[in-house]
Structure 1
Amino acid sequence: MPAPKKILIDCDPGIDDALALTLAHGCPALDLVGITTVGGNVSLELTTLNALKLREFLGFPSVPVVAGSAGALVASRIDASEVHGFGGLGAAVLPEPRLKATDGHAVDFIVDTLSASPGEISLVAVGPLTNIALAVRREPRITEWARDFTIMGGSYTRGNRTPAAEFNIAADPEAAAIVFGAGWTVNQIGLDVSLTALANGPILDRMRDLGRLGGELLIPSLEFYGMTTAHDGPAVHDALAVAHVADPSLFEFTPGVVDVETAGRFTSGMTVIDFNLRGRVPNANVARSIDVDRFWDLTLSSFAQVEARLP
């Protein structure tokens, strides 16, 4: 059996971020080496607090959690508390953490961690791309040091924050433009695919069998999430980016050139994707579909591993 893939997750917990972290911790194919936080779904103070709560509740206390950027590079800060709840985890109430975040800034942690293990760590971003953009600006070589780079963000059809823009990109369009223009190939998983993987009734029923994990985190957060998202059940957007690192064969991708709109009156934050290329060099592999059944099998089996080890 191959060694687990090391994974560093930049996130803004957030309900779907919580599921992504649970998947990363429970999946035997992955080794979670660090968590960095950014202001997004809720404030930086709350995203960091939620990451610390999840670390202790799920049982990986030795994994560093490092706080990063509170707001966007240029734009005014927005959040999605109307979707994730005031605290960010819906109706889930987790114990207050005993351990603190690691000192320092997320940007420095990302650069230092990747530079110490070039080619070994998969970088995943499932929130606004502010930390990643600042890391690229500080040290452009991270684009070479990362084993690969996967985001949940954008779309090639429509948005959810606005008709044109998905939330993570809309929250900091300038940062997203820097990231897509940094010279690496971004594995982009957008709304077009994430909205096909829903935590519908049968999936929630399977989660109800997961003891404390199901009863204290998964069900209360997802049922809250479901009241404000897709009528067939909430999408678990961010978990798909982690699943891609664990098993890339779950997805079908098409190479494309992704440009981020930063100035449009109605389209700021839109990802404009050219699949025709016309001689242009792709800067992204854009997800076009996912094997939903296999995704849920991977995710729920990983959740079961977490439940079996809960402290």
Structure 2
Amino acid sequence: MEKVILDCDPGHDDAIAIMLAAGNPAIDLLGITTVAGNQTIEKVTRNALSVCAAAGIHVPVARGASAPLVASQVVAEDIHGATGLDGPALPEPAFALDPRHAVDFIIDTVMAHESNTVNLVPVGPLTNIALAMRKEPRIIERVKSVVLMGGAHTRGNMTPHAEFNIYVDPEAAEAAFRADWNVTMVGLDLTHQALASAELQARVRAIGGPVSEFVGAVWDFVGAAYREVYEFEAPPVHDACCVAALIDPTIFTTAMADVRVELRGEWTRGTTVVNFRDVPGMHHSSGSAERQTDFRTAVALQLDQQRFADQVVDAVERLTANLAK
């Protein structure tokens, strides 16, 4: 089993990521930490607890950073609504928050487990991760991997080139990419392949029960938002892709690259500048003596969409069965 701390900002696709992590037997979900992103920290933390209540999930939930390291706060109300998780009925939390700040929860958990066994899965802005690295640098050598949802090498969704999670806190993202640990960047180029298609939605709805209904309501709302804002026929399930890769590392292909986050450009702040090492047709520069190129980030490229859909359906089925016990 892969030990996972899921750092998130629920968020519709975050909700599916939580369910996939809790519902798949290959994942040992050690805890959920929250960060301001899709909505304020108060709202996304409440949403994390509500998702756990809706799906019968019982793991520690710790509230984290309420604002980016440097920038002013940005939320995604146009996609996720006033609550951050509009659409489904949000049940009352079934348990209390962990008393620790998310940063301390991350540090304590990584340090308490054997080295090279805990995976960090940040699927919102990387503020908590950067703060944890700063407060306890020893976690960097102990973490097994960081599988993050953010960035892109061809497009953005906040600006022409910047993806939301990186744009919200680019300084934190740059710190995470520069740290000496194993990073996989699961960006828009990959997650836009992970669509909640009509077929997938029909399979989930056919399961029946409260978990299926909750997921259906999630996709109804965010699907309408994506049609209106981005003209997508079906909404991407961005964040669950990171969990899917830990369940099955072959579910998407990757290529090694040097990833830098643009921090100063007037029109490009928050852009992930991706320099691929061995991908035909993609930019490659060896760098200079002043700035050595560092090809050590795995960038996700191509998703097996059918296997991803199967994972989501399986998780909903398992959570549904557990609730019925």
TM interval, short-chain normalised: over 0.9
* Structure 2 Cα separation of the partners of residues 225 and 115 of structure 1: 37
1:216 is displaced (CA, Å) by 3.2
- The equivalent of 2:295 in structure 1 is 282
Q: Give the partner amino acid of 2:256.
A: P
* Structure 1 Cα separation of the partners of residues 137 and 275 of structure 2: 25
1:242 is displaced (CA, Å) by 0.6
- The equivalent of 1:95 in structure 2 is 91
1:36 is displaced (CA, Å) by 0.4
Q: Give the partner amino acid of 1:252.
A: T
* Structure 2 Cα separation of the partners of residues 30 and 202 of structure 1: 25
* Structure 1 Cα separation of the partners of residues 312 and 285 of structure 2: 34
Q: Give the partner amino acid of 1:299.
A: V
Task: Give yes or no for the alignment of 1:39 onto 2:39.
Answer: no
- The equivalent of 2:201 in structure 1 is 204
Q: Give the partner amino acid of 1:120.
A: T
Q: Give the partner amino acid of 1:296.
A: A
Q: CA 1:129 to 1:298, structure 2 compared with 1: closer, same or farther past 3 Å?
A: same
Q: Give the partner amino acid of 1:241.
A: C
Partner SS state of residue 209, structure 2 = helix
| Correspondence for 1:72 among 57, 68, 71 | 68
* Structure 1 Cα separation of the partners of residues 26 and 78 of structure 2: 34
* Structure 2 Cα separation of the partners of residues 131 and 210 of structure 1: 36
- The equivalent of 1:271 in structure 2 is 272
Write the mapping of 1:19-58 to structure 2, written as runs, cut at 5 A: 19-58=16-55
* Structure 2 Cα separation of the partners of residues 223 and 95 of structure 1: 18
- The equivalent of 1:111 in structure 2 is 107
Partner SS state of residue 241, structure 2 = helix
- The equivalent of 1:256 in structure 2 is 257
C-alpha contact 1:57 1:310 (8 A) present in aligned 2: no
Write the mapping of 1:134-145 to structure 2, written as runs, cut at 5 A: 134-145=131-142
C-alpha contact 1:140 1:182 (8 A) present in aligned 2: no
- The equivalent of 1:244 in structure 2 is 245
Structure-1-length-normalised TM-score: 0.95
**Stretches (4+) displaced over 3 A:** 213-216
Structure 1 stretches lacking a partner, 5+ long: none
Task: Give yes or no for the alignment of 1:84 onto 2:80.
Answer: yes
1:210 is displaced (CA, Å) by 2.4
Structure 2 stretches lacking a partner, 5+ long: 277-283, 288-292
CA deviation map 1:205-224 (0-9, x unaligned): 11111223455311111111
Task: Give yes or no for the alignment of 1:159 onto 2:156.
Answer: yes
1:148 is displaced (CA, Å) by 1.1
1:232 is displaced (CA, Å) by 2.0
Partner SS state of residue 107, structure 1 = helix
CA deviation map 1:160-215 (0-9, x unaligned): 01111100000101111111111223111000010011111111111111223455
* Structure 1 Cα separation of the partners of residues 127 and 234 of structure 2: 29
State the Cα RMSD in Å.
1.3
C-alpha contact 2:4 2:28 (8 A) present in aligned 1: yes
Higher deviation after alignment, 185-194 or 202-211: 202-211
Partner SS state of residue 226, structure 1 = helix
Structure-2-length-normalised TM-score: 0.91
* Structure 2 Cα separation of the partners of residues 258 and 141 of structure 1: 23
- The equivalent of 1:305 in structure 2 is 318
Count, aligned residues: 307
* Structure 1 Cα separation of the partners of residues 285 and 101 of structure 2: 38
Q: Give the partner amino acid of 2:270.
A: G
* Structure 1 Cα separation of the partners of residues 142 and 65 of structure 2: 22
Percent identity between the aligned chains?
Answer: 45
- The equivalent of 1:168 in structure 2 is 165
Higher deviation after alignment, 204-213 or 36-45: 204-213
* Structure 1 Cα separation of the partners of residues 179 and 94 of structure 2: 38
